[in-house]
Amino acid sequence: MKNEIRICGFGGQGVIKCAYIIGKAASIYGNKNATMTQSFGPEARGSSCSAQVVINEDAVLYPYLQTTDVLVSMSQDAFRKYYPEVSDDGLILIDEDLVKSEKPKANQKLYSIPATRFAEELGDKIVLNIIMFGFFVAMTGDLLQLEAAKKAVETSVPASSLEMNMKAFYKGYEYGKALLEKDKNRNKSN
């Protein structure tokens, strides 16, 4: 089944690297097919930035999004720009410190994580994108296997910062798993 994903924010947040790692986890370590395209403003750092990843079991015949199944947003401007493209049953993941969301459509699911705060607690805001990647892996179920995701991080960051990046990955992943467990328990009691 094809999944169309947009990662967005502003330059300097690691938007492109996050998308790259998603594609790498899917294609190199997950035996799926993936493509990534990217766009950013001419100013790069600080300007609007987005990347599109298409993941499919079969060959990806068209590398651009036709609809957005999953939106990962790390800035308010990017959220405003790309939220209208999210499918009616899409998944929306936001950094709650940087994005204020409107109420999602009836069948959309919206989850937030204090990713910037977590990155600051870990001692380096630069790992915000890896926290969001871990959160993405948890929230998208079996789209990416955990081992494939970990291997993609390990082979995509400098050795000198591997420990910090793995802490960031697990911070996002565990937060996402806890949110899903809370939702499951709430649904059982209703």
- Residue 41: per-residue pLDDT: 59
Domain residue extents for the chain: 3-189
- Residue 115: per-residue pLDDT: 97
Q: Two tokens at 155?
A: 């082979």
CATH (one of 3.40.50.300, 2.40.50.140, 3.40.920.10, 3.30.70.20) for 3-189 = 3.40.920.10
Cα 148 to Cα 10, 107, 181: the distances in Å are 27, 29, 22
Q: What is this structure's pTM?
A: 0.94
- Residue 45: per-residue pLDDT: 59
- Residue 19: per-residue pLDDT: 97
146 in Cβ contact with 177 (< 8 Å): no
Q: Tell me, what amino acid is at 77? A: D
Mean pLDDT of successive 10-residue stretches along the chain, which has 190 residues: 93 93 97 92 67 96 93 95 95 96 89 97 96 98 96 97 98 97 82
**Cα distance between residue 174 and residue 178, in whole Å:** 6
